[in-house]
Chain A
Amino acid sequence: MTLRLSPGPGPDAVRQLFAPGADALLRLALLTGAACLAALPVVGAGLVRSSYVTGVGVAPAQPVPFSHKHHAGELKIDCRYCHTTVETQATAGIPPTQTCMTCHSQIWSGSDMLEPVRASYAKDQPLVWTRLNKLPGYVYYNHAVHVTNGIGCSTCHGSVTDMQLTYRANAFEMSFCLDCHRNPETYVRPKDQILTMTWSPPANQATLGPDLVRQYHIRGGERLTECGICHR
């Protein structure tokens, strides 16, 4: 915003406080300010949903590069072989080193990659995995209640059998939970499909879903969306 100001009559005697360009600058500044103001919530809303914040799809470094794809997918080891308490307790359970060693004391027993597992076994100290799926302390969640009432592993954890390195498949935000709690009939599966990683709602889910909801005695809608269901 330069000023054209000359002390007396002359070729440049027009006395204006602002040069003609000042208006363009002011408008630019005002528009930039308005654009920033409008962009702030958009950028903020985008950021909190991005995997940068939620960690979805990001496989963190683990003490051992364990592959769910190899073990559960190709070798078809049952989920419950390691996550033993998923059907009976609130937590699914992280397997102790002994579970790994049931096989790896016999196969790949000299592998460098498995050195931390053997060391853990020898020292009797558990492996420290980096946790992927976290819920806030004020959220009560029970695995057993979900997997015994028609909610399969993959609904929350994604197709784990396709994960070479394990990553978070969904951001466990409140809207994620409420989506199903408000409409359980769209996600509920028959009992024999709980462990199927590739399950997707069949064509007749619209009729099957409500039947299953009745079978499982799920009181959808009003009961499942009460605050105290999760926040106890």
Chain B
Amino acid sequence: MSGTVTPLPARAGLLGKGEDFASIGRAVTGASSRIPSRAWWIAFAGAGGLLGVFAVTLAWLLINGVGIWHNNNPVVWALDIVAYDWWIGIACGALLTSAILRLTGASWRSGIDRIAETTAILAAASAALYPIIHLGRPWLFYWTLPYPNTLALWPQFRSPLVWDAIDIISFLGVCLGLWYVGLLPDFATLRDRAFEAALAEADERGRTRRLTLMKAQTYGILALGWRGASTHWERWLMATRTLSALALVLVVSLQTGASVMLAGSVLPGWHDTLLPVSFLAASLLSGVGVTAALTVLVRRALHLDALITERHIALMAHLMLGLGLASAYCYATEIFSGLLHGDAYDRAVLVRRLSGSHAWAFWIIVVFALLPVHLFWFAAFRRSGRVVALVGLAAAIGSFGDHFMLLIVTLSHDFLPSSAHPYSMGVWGLATLAGTIGLFLALLLLALRTLPMVSIAETRRVAESHRDGRPRGERAPVPAESAQARLWGVSAEFDDAGALAAAAGALKERDFGARIETYGPVPMRRVAESLGRPAGILPLLALGAALAGGLAFMGLCLYASGVDYVFDVGGRPRFSWPAFLVPSVSFGTLCGGLTALLALLVQNRLPRLNHPAFAIPGFTRASEDRFFLAFEAAGPRFNPARIEQALARLPQGRPLTIRRVPL
């Protein structure tokens, strides 16, 4: 009987040999101490230097305005929007990867989903600054949001400026929600290891150092009192899946929204119906590329070879190859359809893209994004972390060329020869880009130091628990067991989820005057099924909130633009609902995501920092490799002796220890 109760298919090669629950936890929790300190500080100094460049650039920008980026009249969207689209593309691609892998139940998400989500958050944070700083008066950025103002005006909901504001807020909300929910059990593991260290210190020296204790308590607060109850795990699965589904909707809305926004203009070259798909493919390629590069980095820097295996790297390489082919198909189709049925202007744009003054942008796409992925036809390159990382970074560089070509080459020349104006990248535009890269790297380095970069909970789901049969967490009997103190309940410790499930199944019908709860380091599907799984109301709540939020936002847009503040924009219809779809969908997913997060906490009665279950002897191991069955006293019929007897007489899967837990 294996330790996992929810076996995931095709787990071969996803974990080093001999890895079990405890070793996975130790590998991740101890990872930050294995970072080469000197290299980290050098890297951090470099990132800090780039952040300094960013600060200088922003100051110069505030003094002089967006002209320092060489934006001019036809090229109104220059490096600022190129970089924004590039970052948000990476963020979308990374988030979509994590969401799709979770929704399809791919077990190889174990090593990379946390890295993908972290990439998404950091890239979105870097992107989030652009819509603010590219405004002429960045300090009035809140004008893009609907709020009760003294101007008697509404924001222009047809404007991509408003879409960007809502999209970024929603993206950060949903992405942070998914990331944090995934982190909850991992924070609990970190908390328990830190608490064990504090206890060991207390035993050794008679007292605990303040810092050790603060570390444990910080992780404790971040974990919100997660204790791994089987019902909590079931809702956790629902919440992560719900958030993944919302993230999927959000990313599709955001990327296709960007292409629809371009199609809303009259400029030639932005109207191919394949554009939404090619946006998604290109964004996925860059997101997967950066995620793959970071996966290799995390694997090497944190020595996590056992948790992020060659198979993970090879699968990422496969994914990049597939996405590279899809991307190449999209570019080829665009060129083909331009030649086949485009008008003179379409063909002129095509010629400018391929051979104009900024043709390098197109060839960057070809050389950096479309060609290198073909190395992955060969297994040797798929197995090489270095090659995968380099190709991943190249894909990101190629994606920058894509956004440059799509925006700047198109904008610099419209229908009239007189409105063509050359554009050249200025040093300040590049400095701003370098600054946002510095922000990304600095936050990444801090994350490497403090956060579990590989999901402990997800990795354990592909692992076997190692049965050693030794009771752990043993200390001298607590007074409750010797004296007749008030009891919270009786607990039994197992080293195997199967035994726990058998015990729970055998005892659940007996009337002990007690409530049964089970605790463990992984989702315990069989236990939950035998004890009665919680109703799946969480996804419904989230769906309801998403629909209500989306409809409410659509209603707001329609009321504001069609009733309260009618404003003729180029003769567009009063109730131009298609234009309002993008922010409405984004806002809906934000509402759904926040509801999923809140529902998870409320239904699980979290946060609960102090809970009687934490007093179960050896309970810190519930986040490592032990499973606990607790009989919580409920009513006058509660009799600890009877429960202990029943536990000791179990036909199979006897507990390692049976303890009384004081109140």
Q: Which residues on A are within 8 Å of B, measured CB to CB?
A: 1, 3, 5-9, 11, 13-23, 26-27, 30, 41, 45, 48-49, 171, 173-175, 178-179
Contact of A9 among B191, B220, B477 (CB under 8 A): B477
> A41 to B147, Cβ gap below 8 A?
yes
Q: Which residues on B are within 8 Å of A, measured CB to CB?
A: 147-153, 191, 195, 198-199, 202-203, 206-208, 213, 216-217, 220-221, 225, 475-479, 607-610, 614-615, 662
**Ranked 4 nearest A-B pairs via Cβ:** A175-B152, A18-B609, A173-B150, A9-B476
> B220 to A17, Cβ gap below 8 A?
yes
For residue B362, give the distance in angstroms from its CB to the closest CB of chain A.
40
For residue A228, give the distance in angstroms from its CB to the closest CB of chain B.
13
**Using Cβ atoms and an 8 Å threshold, which residues of chain A touch B476?**
8-9, 13
For residue A152, give the distance in angstroms from its CB to the closest CB of chain B.
22
**Using Cβ atoms and an 8 Å threshold, which residues of chain B touch A3?**
213, 217
- The chain A residue sitting closest to B194, CB to CB, is A17
- The chain A residue sitting closest to B661, CB to CB, is A14
Most chain B CB neighbours (cut-off 10 Å) among A13, A21, A173: A13
Q: Give complex CA distance A1, B199 in Å.
A: 17
> B609 to A26, Cβ gap below 8 A?
yes
- The chain A residue sitting closest to B220, CB to CB, is A17
> B607 to A174, Cβ gap below 8 A?
no
> B203 to A5, Cβ gap below 8 A?
no
**Using Cβ atoms and an 8 Å threshold, which residues of chain B touch A23?**
225, 607-610
- The chain A residue sitting closest to B615, CB to CB, is A14
> A7 to B202, Cβ gap below 8 A?
yes
> B151 to A5, Cβ gap below 8 A?
no
Contact of B199 among A5, A9, A45 (CB under 8 A): A5
**Using Cβ atoms and an 8 Å threshold, which residues of chain B touch A26?**
221, 607, 609
For residue B32, give the distance in angstroms from its CB to the closest CB of chain A.
20
> A175 to B217, Cβ gap below 8 A?
no
**Using Cβ atoms and an 8 Å threshold, which residues of chain B touch A41?**
147
Q: Give complex CA distance A179, B564 in Å.
A: 12
**Using Cβ atoms and an 8 Å threshold, which residues of chain B touch A175?**
149-152
**Using Cβ atoms and an 8 Å threshold, which residues of chain A touch B191?**
17
Q: Give complex CA distance A9, B478 in Å.
A: 6
**Using Cβ atoms and an 8 Å threshold, which residues of chain A touch B607?**
23, 26-27, 30
For residue B123, give the distance in angstroms from its CB to the closest CB of chain A.
25
> B208 to A5, Cβ gap below 8 A?
yes
**Using Cβ atoms and an 8 Å threshold, which residues of chain A touch B614?**
15-17
Q: Give complex CA distance A28, B223 in Å.
A: 17
For residue B164, give the distance in angstroms from its CB to the closest CB of chain A.
21
- The chain B residue sitting closest to A174, CB to CB, is B151
Q: Give complex CA distance A9, B195 in Å.
A: 17
- Not counting A6-B202, A8-B476, A11-B479, a sample of 7 additional A-B residue pairs whose C-beta atoms are within 8 angstroms of each other reads A3-B217, A5-B213, A9-B478, A17-B610, A174-B152, A174-B153, A179-B152
| 16 A-B pairs whose Cβ atoms sit less than 8 Å apart in the complex | A3-B213, A5-B202, A6-B202, A7-B202, A8-B203, A8-B476, A16-B610, A17-B217, A18-B225, A21-B610, A23-B609, A30-B607, A45-B147, A171-B150, A174-B153, A175-B150
Most chain B CB neighbours (cut-off 10 Å) among A6, A15, A19: A15
Q: Give complex CA distance A178, B154 in Å.
A: 13
For residue B273, give the distance in angstroms from its CB to the closest CB of chain A.
35
Q: Give complex CA distance A229, B406 in Å.
A: 37
**Using Cβ atoms and an 8 Å threshold, which residues of chain B touch A45?**
147-148
**Using Cβ atoms and an 8 Å threshold, which residues of chain B touch A6?**
202
- The chain A residue sitting closest to B567, CB to CB, is A225
**Using Cβ atoms and an 8 Å threshold, which residues of chain A touch B149?**
175
Contact of B610 among A7, A22, A48 (CB under 8 A): A22
For residue B67, give the distance in angstroms from its CB to the closest CB of chain A.
20
Q: Give complex CA distance A20, B615 in Å.
A: 12
> A16 to B615, Cβ gap below 8 A?
yes
- The chain A residue sitting closest to B616, CB to CB, is A15
Q: Give complex CA distance A21, B609 in Å.
A: 9
**Using Cβ atoms and an 8 Å threshold, which residues of chain B touch A171?**
150
**Using Cβ atoms and an 8 Å threshold, which residues of chain A touch B202?**
5-7
Q: Give complex CA distance A217, B477 in Å.
A: 95
> A18 to B151, Cβ gap below 8 A?
no
**Using Cβ atoms and an 8 Å threshold, which residues of chain B touch A13?**
475-476, 478-479
> A7 to B207, Cβ gap below 8 A?
yes
- The chain B residue sitting closest to A182, CB to CB, is B152
> A178 to B152, Cβ gap below 8 A?
yes
Q: Give complex CA distance A19, B213 in Å.
A: 13
For residue A198, give the distance in angstroms from its CB to the closest CB of chain B.
27
Contact of B198 among A5, A14, A20 (CB under 8 A): A5
> B217 to A1, Cβ gap below 8 A?
yes
**Using Cβ atoms and an 8 Å threshold, which residues of chain B touch A173?**
150-151
For residue B659, give the distance in angstroms from its CB to the closest CB of chain A.
12
For residue A121, give the distance in angstroms from its CB to the closest CB of chain B.
41
For residue A12, give the distance in angstroms from its CB to the closest CB of chain B.
9
Q: Give complex CA distance A218, B613 in Å.
A: 76
For residue B580, give the distance in angstroms from its CB to the closest CB of chain A.
22
The answer to whether residues A48 and B207 also contact, given A3-B217, A20-B610, A23-B608 and a CB cut-off of 8 A, is: no
**Using Cβ atoms and an 8 Å threshold, which residues of chain A touch B208?**
5
- The chain B residue sitting closest to A27, CB to CB, is B607
Contact of A17 among B148, B151, B609 (CB under 8 A): B609
For residue A146, give the distance in angstroms from its CB to the closest CB of chain B.
18
> B478 to A14, Cβ gap below 8 A?
yes
**Using Cβ atoms and an 8 Å threshold, which residues of chain B touch A18?**
217, 220, 225, 609-610
**Using Cβ atoms and an 8 Å threshold, which residues of chain A touch B213?**
3, 5
Most chain B CB neighbours (cut-off 10 Å) among A3, A16, A41: A16
Q: Give complex CA distance A23, B614 in Å.
A: 14
Q: Give complex CA distance A145, B206 in Å.
A: 87
Q: Give complex CA distance A30, B208 in Å.
A: 28
**Using Cβ atoms and an 8 Å threshold, which residues of chain B touch A9?**
475-479
Q: Give complex CA distance A41, B149 in Å.
A: 11
- The chain A residue sitting closest to B213, CB to CB, is A3
Q: Give complex CA distance A23, B221 in Å.
A: 10
Q: Give complex CA distance A223, B191 in Å.
A: 66
Q: Give complex CA distance A106, B430 in Å.
A: 73
**Using Cβ atoms and an 8 Å threshold, which residues of chain A touch B615?**
14-16
**Using Cβ atoms and an 8 Å threshold, which residues of chain A touch B151?**
173-175, 178
**Using Cβ atoms and an 8 Å threshold, which residues of chain A touch B479?**
9, 11, 13
> B662 to A7, Cβ gap below 8 A?
no
Most chain B CB neighbours (cut-off 10 Å) among A48, A174, A179: A174
For residue B321, give the distance in angstroms from its CB to the closest CB of chain A.
45
Q: Give complex CA distance A90, B202 in Å.
A: 82
> B150 to A48, Cβ gap below 8 A?
yes
Q: Give complex CA distance A28, B476 in Å.
A: 36
> A7 to B478, Cβ gap below 8 A?
no
> A14 to B203, Cβ gap below 8 A?
no
Q: Give complex CA distance A67, B221 in Å.
A: 64
**Using Cβ atoms and an 8 Å threshold, which residues of chain B touch A11?**
479
